[in-house]
Structure 1
Amino acid sequence: MSPRGVAIPDLRERLFAAAERVVARDGAAALTSRAVTAEAGCAKGVLHTHFASLDEFISELVLDRFARSARHAEELRERVGQDEVAGNLAEVALALLDSLDPAVVGLAMTRPGASLHTRQALESGAPGFSAMQESITVYLEAERQLGRVEHDTDSATTALALVGTVHHLLMTRSPDGPLDTRETVGRLVTLLLGGG
């Protein structure tokens, strides 16, 4: 346990990772501020020192993972002309799906305070699905210019369909569900790129 009054490096990430472990191991109902701080090896009150409530903490966890996915989508611009377009898109989609445990997503959707905080942050410009969609649109347009995507591809609509579907999968999948996400994403990307 960290001593009182000593700064903890990367505290937010330490608490977020602890919360993800608690949910993965014990389920969403076990997520309390005390369970998070115990898992993180921190003093009991440290979560509430940095977050106004457990709802805000859950929301900030979700927003952090969305921002990480948005940064991953931004990296597509460095992959223009490299590897297969379908593979590049599938990698970004799978990274988003793997960014959050479905139970954490469920908490963010069902706890009114967390849901409101998340929605307000996204509406205020926090990186999320819109940023991912924009990055994918820019990537597809660049690949279209190189002739690696069909010339009549509507890059913006394709990006919207990909991000929208992945968003749906992220928000509705069950932790124990039968969905093979890799296969589903592969079929989706193939369809969107005109491969049937």
Structure 2
Amino acid sequence: MSPRGVPTPDVRERLFAAAERVLAREGSAGLTNRAVTEEADCAKGLLYNHFADLDDFVAQLVLDRFARIAAAVAPLPERAGRGGVHENLADAALVLLGTNGPAIAAAAISRSDVADRVRTAWAAGAPGPGSVEAAMTGYLTREQELGRVPAGADGPMLALAITGTVHHLLMHGGQPPAEGRELIHRLVAALVPLA
């Protein structure tokens, strides 16, 4: 444990990573201040030195992880014309699932105040599922311009269908990584027409 009075480097990320491990192991019911700080090997009060309460902590965790997802998917439109259309879209969709995506989503919806805070932040412009949807729409538009996706395909609806399905998988969890990957590839192939 960090000695008292000695600054802990990268506190937010250290606590977030510890929370992800707790969530993966114990589910949302096991996510407590004590569980997170013990997992992070730091003082019990450290979480409350950086976050208003546990709900604020969980909301910030969700927002942080979605910001990372949005940043990872943002370059998707630049991939137009390279690689396979289905593979590019499936890879972007799989970023949403992530390693701990279902556990983090479960934590967010298990605490109503967290869900409200996250929705409010997204409505105010914080990166969220809409950012992923926008990147997919931009990608599909560029692929249409290149003639790899039919001009009549409804890019925004295809992007919504893909992100909506991934959202469904996140909310219901339980998909082993290999099965989730196969399901996403099948979904994209079924939805997105190629020219």
TM-score, normalization: structure 1? 0.91
CA RMSD, 1 decimal:
1.9
CA deviations on 1:36-78 (whole Å, 9 max, x unpaired) are 1111121110101111111111111111111111112102123
Question: Within 2, Cα distance between the matches of 1:31 and 1:117?
Answer: 18
1:90 has 2:87 as partner? no
User: 2 CA distance for matches of 1:191 and 1:115?
Assistant: 32
Residues 20 and 101, structure 1, Cα contact 8 Å, conserved in 2: no
Residue 185 of structure 2 corresponds to 186
Instruction: Give, in whole Å, the separation in 2 of the partners of 1:24 and 1:188.
Output: 26
| Matching of residues 13-162 of structure 1 within 5 Å | 13-98=13-98, 100-162=100-162
One-letter code aligned to 1:184: L
Per the TM alignment, residue 169 of structure 1 is displaced from its structure 2 partner at its CA by 1.3
Return the offset for 1:80.
Answer: 1.7
Following TM superposition, by how much is the alpha carbon of 1:18 offset from its aligned partner in structure 2, in angstroms? 0.3
Report if the CA contact (8 A) 2:18-2:40 is conserved: yes
Letter in structure 1 aligned against 2:150: E
* Equivalent position amino acid for 1:42 in 2: C
Secondary structure in structure 1 of the residue aligned to 2:90: helix
Q: Distance in 1 between matches of 2:40 and 2:131?
A: 31
Aligned residue pairs, count? 194
Change (3 A) 1:178 1:126: closer
Secondary structure of the residue aligned to 1:180 is helix
Distance in structure 1 (CA, Å) of the matches to 2:189 and 2:110 = 33
Q: Tell me by how many angstroms 1:179 deviates.
A: 8.6
Deviation at 1:99, TM superposition (A): 5.1
Alignment partners' CA distance in 2, 1:117 and 1:42? 26
| d(CA) in 1 for partners of 2:190, 2:124 | 33
Question: How far is the alpha carbon of 1:144 from its aligned partner?
Answer: 1.0
Contact 1:27 1:103 in 2 (8 A): yes
C-alpha distance in 1 between matches for 2:91 and 2:5: 42
